[in-house]
Structure 1
């Protein structure tokens, strides 16, 4: 079993519903959100498995299933101490080979939130195995990213953190060109709009390769 701490908008929000329909799966209940689409589904299979989210603490193995309760309690405490804030959305944007929702400008509160969460949940994360490191293809990472991978189990933390909510898998140039018009039309209502960062969720992968599903959601409660 693996757990991850993600930001995701409320299940009933327009953005969450639109993204779930785009990806074909709702991570809150694990149910399909539309009929299969043989053209789109292969291009969104990876983000559909993880569910619409932004990574705050990347997936990590649970040494014991009973640790989930302690992680849940710690996240409730962590979120109770956080103050909600907003970002301006920019969507869709190309990040390397995939499309995502990203902030329109740098956000200090986002960086601060990620930094604090990575450190707060480090005690729950076991050291990565050689296989886990190899899957991250360390030969393609920078020296700092490789060091973060060894120390924190994920290369994109702290200075390397980039908030993004993935909307496609890795695409060829022709696939990206074909998908972009539909993606732009679907998410046009959200481009330039404000997004509240006011909750975090635990997503669970019950077994290797299984789809991630929301286990619990905790709202920010500080004034």
Structure 2
């Protein structure tokens, strides 16, 4: 099967992953739609609140979706991703439930040097495999609205929020008006608080492909072996 785009994500595992995937309505690792949980405190339809992040599953972006440059295939991408991961060690992140930019999300209390090194290596060392953005892809990023540094990253790396602009986040909602986002955060807190009481282990990254239905599915996972 041919794929339009590939991405490198961190996919949490264990009970946190199960709940995050169920809440969003898509499990990218299993390539299936799990039953949505009944979160009594949530006002509104979960599907309507999560329609955008649902397509990508419960994930944090490390290298944003991209098309492969002509002359390269998914085997090249997998081999190169494995080489990066062979040199980087596992680590842990302490998470908190937040409401930022109108999105409910889980974010690290601190972006550790190990996390920053992982993102930087994947962004920079795989970029020769990435096809340049088409004019339409570039325009969709609304470069005229980006800060200068983010626009420079878009021009160079094909995505604005990388390197010094990178923020690890596990998105749990569509963009919402601030009062609605804050209410949803508070409603989800009792469900997610026990799942993030201990630091989350980051011991692998995943290669995913976007299929014809627009949803991301995992192709392969790569352990951090450093």
TM-score normalised to structure 2 length: 0.90
What residue number does 1:29 align with?
30
Report how many aligned residue pairs link the two structures: 218
Question: Contact 2:8–2:208 at 8 Å: present in 1 too?
Answer: yes
Contact 1:93/1:100 (CA < 8 Å) preserved in 2? yes
Q: What SS is found at the alignment partner of 2:6?
A: strand
- Measured in 1, the distance between the counterparts of 2:182 and 2:15 equals 26
Secondary structure in 2 matching 1:213: strand
Q: Distance in 1 between matches of 2:148 and 2:17?
A: 36
Matched, 1:81 2:83: no
The Cα of 1:198 is off from its aligned counterpart by: 1.0
* Residue pairs, 1:52-131, within 5 angstroms: 52-63=58-69, 67-90=73-96, 92-131=97-136
Q: Extract unaligned runs of 5+ from structure 1.
A: none
1:189 to 186, 194, 200: 194
Q: Which residue number corresponds to residue 9 of structure 2?
A: 6
The answer to whether the Cα contact below 8 Å between 1:24 and 1:36 also exists between their aligned partners in 2 is: no
Corresponding residue SS for 2:94 = strand
Do the aligned partners of residues 110 and 41 (structure 1) sit closer, same or farther apart at CA in structure 2, a change above 3 Å counting? same
User: Is 2:153 the partner of 1:152?
Assistant: no
Describe the SS at the equivalent of 1:50.
Answer: coil
Measured after TM superposition, the shift of residue 64 of structure 1 is 5.1
Query: Partner of 1:199 in structure 2?
Result: 204
| Ranges of 4+ aligned residues in structure 1 off by more than 3 Å | 35-38, 63-66
Query: 1:105/1:36 Cα in 2 relative to 1: closer, same or farther (>3 Å)?
Result: closer
Secondary structure of the residue aligned to 2:120 is helix
Instruction: State TM-score, norm by structure 1.
Output: 0.91
Cα displacement (A) at 1:178: 4.1
Bigger CA drift: 117-126 or 72-81? Answer: 72-81
Structure 2 match to 1:212: 216
Q: Distance in 2 between matches of 1:161 and 1:22?
A: 25
Given the superposition, is the C-alpha separation of residues 177 and 89 from structure 1 closer, same or farther in structure 2, using an over 3 Å criterion? Answer: closer
The 1:79–1:70 alpha-carbon spacing in structure 2 relative to 1, beyond 3 Å, is same
Structure 2: distance between partners of 1:162 and 1:71:
23
Distance in 2 separating the partners of 1:106 and 1:181: 23
